[in-house]
Amino acid sequence: MTIFKGAGVALVTPFNNDLTVNYGKLEELVDYHINNGTDSLIICGTTGEASTLTEDEHIECIRVAAARAKKAARQIPVIAGTGSNDTATAVYLSKEAKKAGADATLVVTPYYNKATQKGLYEHFKLIATESELPMILYNVPSRTGCNIMPATAARLFRDIDLIAGIKEASGNISQVAQVVDETNGELAVYSGNDDQIVPVLSLGGVGVISVLSNILPQETHDIVATYLAGDVKTSRELQIKYLKLVDALFSEVNPIPVKAAMNLAGFNCGSLRRPLTDMEPAHLEVLKAEMAKFNLVK
């Protein structure tokens, strides 16, 4: 089971001036991505500031995005971030995501607790079986302090039919290769890093869950689509073309720069909830200069 191939956007959560969720703007962003080549919508992930959303806001964002996407002429899957460092909370959010219309979940490793590999297996198994939704594992040890080892990903994939993919944001290309090897290339692997899309595809990956897609949806889609169509040269050229912009989008912790980028591009997505703060002026100027190269500043 592969939920999607191509570029899924790790969507920002737009806020009003008072930092309440701007659900109307969220609907506009869903429309924008459906109309501009994005292959999947990932709601309430790291980029969506899920860690500062209340549970009610979290579920409502999923509901609003899924309802809007299902009205579109071009149907793409809606994947809900439902991870937590508390397994029971992740089960609850995943069940609610199904009720809200999500097609799948994206579940991060439990942060701070730093579970053992046995604990990770039990965590993901319980969430998948209780929610009855396809799941993409989310491995980002730099943020969680917890790494899904290739053998554990493979065991989950073998044992649980609902394990449908893994977002690999470890930055460790050797580990990505091991995941592909341990699963005989049958588990859908998505790059979790915009600067490693082509390297992951070259190992058998099927796409990316992307921050860059927020401001360059069609172009990020094209990096993957050209590669999968056999045009490696064009895909590689596109990957390299946007590297400096990607660097600027990660010059501070995600999603600080991409939220600034969305505002520079005229989307008016608001500020960030604390403890995240607005971008440092020096970094902002670099981001603005890189965006200007592609006529993205409004």
- Look at residues 10, 278, 1 and name the one whose alpha carbon lies nearest to residue 138: 10
Q: What is the pLDDT of residues 129-188, one digit of tens each?
A: 999 999 999 999 999 999 999 999 999 999 999 999 999 999 999 999 999 999 999 999
pLDDT at 232 over 90: yes
Helix (H, G, I), strand (E, B) or coil at 273: coil
**CATH number, span 6-229:** 3.20.20.70
> Which entry of 92, 121, 138, 227 is annotated as an active-site residue?
138
Output the pLDDT for position 277: 97
Output the pLDDT for position 184: 97
Output the pLDDT for position 197: 98
Is 167 annotated as catalytic? yes
> Which entry of 25, 125, 167, 259 is annotated as an active-site residue?
167
Output the pLDDT for position 195: 98
Q: What is the pLDDT of residues 65-115, one digit of tens each?
A: 999 999 999 999 999 999 999 999 999 999 999 999 999 999 999 999 989
Question: What distance in Å separates the CA atoms of residue 70 and residue 106, rounded to the nearest whole number?
Answer: 19
Q: What is the pLDDT of residues 244-273, one digit of tens each?
A: 999 999 999 999 999 999 999 999 999 999
Mean pLDDT of 277-291: 98
Question: What distance in Å separates the CA atoms of residue 261 and residue 296, rounded to the nearest whole number?
Answer: 9
What's the whole-number average pLDDT of the chain? Answer: 98
Output the pLDDT for position 109: 97
Output the pLDDT for position 1: 81
Query: What is the Cα 195 distance to its own chain's centre?
Result: 14
CB count within 10 Å of CB 22 equals 19
Q: What is the pLDDT of residues 11-20, one digit of tens each?
A: 999 999 999 9
User: What is the chain's percent helix, strand, coil content, to nearest 5?
Assistant: 50, 15, 40
Is 138 annotated as catalytic? yes
Which value, in Å, is the radius of gyration of the alpha carbons in the chain?
Answer: 18
Query: How far separated are the first and last CA of the chain, in Å rounded?
Result: 40
Output the pLDDT for position 261: 98
Output the pLDDT for position 168: 98
Bridge partner list, 78: 41
Output the pLDDT for position 200: 98
Residue boundaries of the structural domains of the chain: 6-229
